[in-house]
Structure 1
Amino acid sequence: MKQQNKHKILNDPIYGFISIPSEEIFKIVEHPYFQRLRRITQMGLSYLVYPGAHHTRFHHALGCLHLMQKAVQVLRSKSVEITDLEEDALYKAILLHDIGHGPFSHALEYQIIKKVTHEQLSLHFMNHLNTQFNGSLTLAIQIFRGEYHRPFMLELISSQLDMDRLDYLKRDSFYTGVAEGNINSQRLITMLNVVDDQLVVEEKGLYSVENFLSGRRLMYWQVYLHKTGIGAEHLLQSVIKRIKELIEKDIFVELPKNLGYFIKNKQPDFSSKDLERFALLDDSDIIMTLKWGSEHKDIVLSELCKMILNRQLLKIKLSDKPIPQEKVDKHLQRFISNHNLTSKEASYFVFSGVVHNTAYTKIQPIKMLNKNGKLVELIKAGKEDSFKALLNEVRKYYCCYPKLQD
């Protein structure tokens, strides 16, 4: 018979020892739904750019739990009332906030299941777990849905300065080796406070917040929106798109059972059976699909799969201005003539697009608490031009095409 460890301590490369605060939370961590996160890569295909980026959603969720424990300790030390039930709910909500991610995380969001976000899937999982744990996740779900009367609790989970962002920036920085994301999360948490049930940052943490936002912006351009990563994710998305087209033409494509179910079933209802099927999906299903697809008779599918498996990626050029359509068409026509493909087939290998990022938005603004007890919005609190620059949206346009054309 399996014994339960009532007080589990895990060793994390970022924070050192992480403790699981209760036996029930340990049981949630041991649940197959949560264990699946060990097989979901945190950063999609970023390991094709940064070889160390093989960390998982499991790592990230436990890191967020650790930071939430620190945040609760800090807020209580500042006389913010947090009951034991609220504390437990915060831990469960942050632990499960990403449980709905599918294979390769954001890289395939909306591709396997259209129009359903990972947050919506996380909620389905949380509701299902709530029945298995006798309703003990009810408050966590209320907080996660933004229905609880103390808004700062949701802000600790989802905002511009939440435990999710504080962990993934530091963790992704560590595993990629990109130093710009190595933020001082402990310093930021120490500066948190609550006023009228709203999460605020004390004035002395102003420049720590600026460093955090600047670091996040740099991580987006150096890591999350790295041009090679963009091209690789497009290829992976194109694999799923091509498989769907072939299936619609009654052309057989070998697929893992559960992945095949969702690709063929356009409107899953997420009954308990659908949720169980989704809970069996992970990165290995996609890897097997790529291996099988690389041997398919369809040249488009086989080439797309081989390019990802062998890291023979497309060339991608960035521009501050939109890519002229005639330039894209030139690459497209050259590829068509060299490989005897139709225009539609060639479009899998030659395409253009745009990516954008804003370091800070005034939607759900970060509020600073000054020495006089007044709340000031971040951009107004920071007098330097560098704070106003955080509001600027940066857009980068790109064109992808096979390297052999150069």
Structure 2
Amino acid sequence: MAIKTKLKIFNDPIYGFITIPSEGVFNIIAHPYFQRLRRISQMGMSYLVYPGAHHTRFHHALGSLHLMQKTVDLLRFKGINISGEEEEGLYIAILMHDIGHGPFSHAMEHTIVEGVSHECISLLFMEEMNKDFNQSLTLGIEIFKGTYHRKFMNELVSSQLDMDRLDYLKRDSFYTGVPEGNINSERIITMLNVLDDQLVVEEKGIYSVEKFLVARRLMYWQVYLHKTGVAAEQLLIRILKRAKELIESGESLHCSPSFSYFLNNRIRKEDFDAEVLQRFSKLDDYDIISAMKQWTDHHDFVLRNLSSMLLNRDLLKVKLKKKPIDLQKLTKHKNNLQKKYQISEAEASYFVFHGEISNVAYSTDAKKIKILHPNGKTSDVTKASDQLNLKALSRPVTKYYICYPKPKD
């Protein structure tokens, strides 16, 4: 049997060569639970808008690991004591922070399973793998949960300026071809420091942070909340909803055993035991795509058409409004669809619907980004900045959408 080399080098299109820092980290990456991330798209259905957006959660996890390595080296250079065990814990926490994502990432969150976030499932995966690795992930899990006594370490993994965001903005900008998201993550990392167990940014780095927050806002409206991408994700959610309805009524649907289990069972947080986790670990984008390909020939009008629309990118027409949608317009579109295809109002509701999307680039309610001034005092980035529009970025912006079929000639 061939012996695997433990210290691998990955060639990443964003950062160049990424090194695997330890045998323990290598073993996590080699685990089937982690390898599954190669089959989970980073940006859900966004490839229907930006054809290059086919990168995966695997790419993102390795990129986040690379940035964490840079950060650990930088903080040590500035005199912050980080032990070897803590370093390994940070790498484990950031590497596995997204391991709980389901098919198409956020698109099907809270849908395949009810009321269970990907962060919760990530923690379940980490705890299960901790058994396989002789409890060596314990410190990484504590950092991930925020229970470790050195609080700044959790901020590096999960905050408004963490390695997760620093990677995905730059990476998603690259793969979508949207330059507005191309932040200078290395410059931001160079300006990081720790004061009173809190992560801070030295004053010289304030412009890079401003650019980061503006880039985040632009990427959300231009990419993550692009109206066509939102419509595609809503179709995917409705396909799953319809499939579950048909199964409950006694229909038989062709799909993989893993997908079938979640369609046939109502799984909530309290149901998520080791067996369910094992089944979830076998579920990825390919299960959903494969099922939809088969469902395009199903006799059910709703399931057949929804699946065909998504696979063939024959999507619904989407309109964004600044004010709530006029429900009379919604009813009009439903009535037209019912008459045209002789379907019920419930069936028409799968193709005609409305909703809202909101975005806040910087939340004043969450852990704030602190700027460290030369006199040793800190202030919130919105107060330290001379950018007048930075305060505006902390206010939520809500838009309303309506979806309905495009008129056919």
Q: CA deviation at 1:272?
A: 2.1
Q: CA deviation at 1:292?
A: 1.3
SS of the equivalent of 2:399 reads strand
Match of 1:250 in 2: 250
In structure 1, the partner of 2:341 is: 339
Following superposition, the deviation at residue 2 of structure 1 comes to 3.1
How do residues 109-258 of structure 1 correspond to structure 2 at under 5 angstroms? 109-258=109-258
Runs of 4+ in 1 over 6 A off after TM superposition: none
For 2:362 and 2:122, the matched residues in 1 are separated by 25
Query: Structure 2: 5+ residue runs without aligned partners?
Result: none
3-state SS in 2 of match to 1:7: coil
Instruction: Quote the residue 1:10 is aligned against.
Output: 10
Cα distance in structure 1, aligned partners of 2:267 and 2:204 = 50
Residue equivalent to 1:371? 374
Kept in 2: contact 1:9–1:18 (CA 8 A): yes
Q: What one-letter code is carried by the residue in structure 2 that aligns with 1:288?
A: S
Amino-acid identity (%): 61
Distance 2:208 2:267 in 1: 45
CA distance in 2, matches of 1:2, 1:323: 62
Q: Establish whether residue 30 from structure 1 lines up as the match of residue 33 from structure 2.
A: no
Query: Do the aligned residues in 2 keep the contact of 1:202 with 1:368 (CA within 8 Å)?
Result: yes
* Post-superposition offset of 1:289: 1.1
Corresponding residue of 2:302: 300
Question: Could you tell me how far apart the structure 1 residues matched to 2:373 and 2:36 are?
Answer: 44
2:331 counterpart (308, 329, 332):
329
1:280 aligns to what SS in structure 2?
coil
Q: State the Cα distance separating 1:107 from its structure 2 match.
A: 0.5
Contact 2:247–2:263 (8 Å) recurs in 1: no
Deviations 1:218-274 (CA, angstroms, capped at 9, x unpaired): 000010000000110010000000011111111111221111111222136232221
- 8 Å CA contact retained: 1:5, 1:23: no
Aligned to 2:71: 71
Helix, strand or coil at the partner of 1:199:
strand
CA contact (8 A) 2:64 2:163 kept: yes
Name the amino acid aligned to 1:110.
H
2:293 aligns to what? 291
Q: Does 1:54 align with 2:54?
A: yes
TM-score normalised by length of structure 1:
0.98
Q: Output the amino acid matched with 1:349.
A: F
Q: Which moved more, 1:315-324 or 1:396-405?
A: 396-405
Give RMSD over aligned pairs.
1.0
How far apart are 1:388 and its partner, in Å? 1.2
Which residue does the alignment assign to 2:352? 350
Name the CA distance, whole Å, in 1 between partners of 2:214 and 2:207. Answer: 10
**How does the TM-score come out when normalised to structure 2?**
0.98
TM superposition shift of 1:6 = 2.4
| Inter-partner Cα distance in structure 2 for 1:307 and 1:206 | 45
**1:102/1:118 contact within 8 Å kept:** yes
1:378 Cα offset (Å): 1.0
Separation in structure 2 between the aligned mates of residue 332 and residue 229 of structure 1, nearest angstrom: 22
Structure 1 stretch displaced more, 261-270 or 173-182: 261-270
The unaligned stretches of length 5 or more in structure 1 are none
Q: Which residue of 2 aligns with 1:108?
A: 108
Matched, 1:384 2:405: no
Whether contact under 8 Å (2:322, 2:399) holds in the other structure is: yes
Deviation at 1:405, TM superposition (A): 6.2
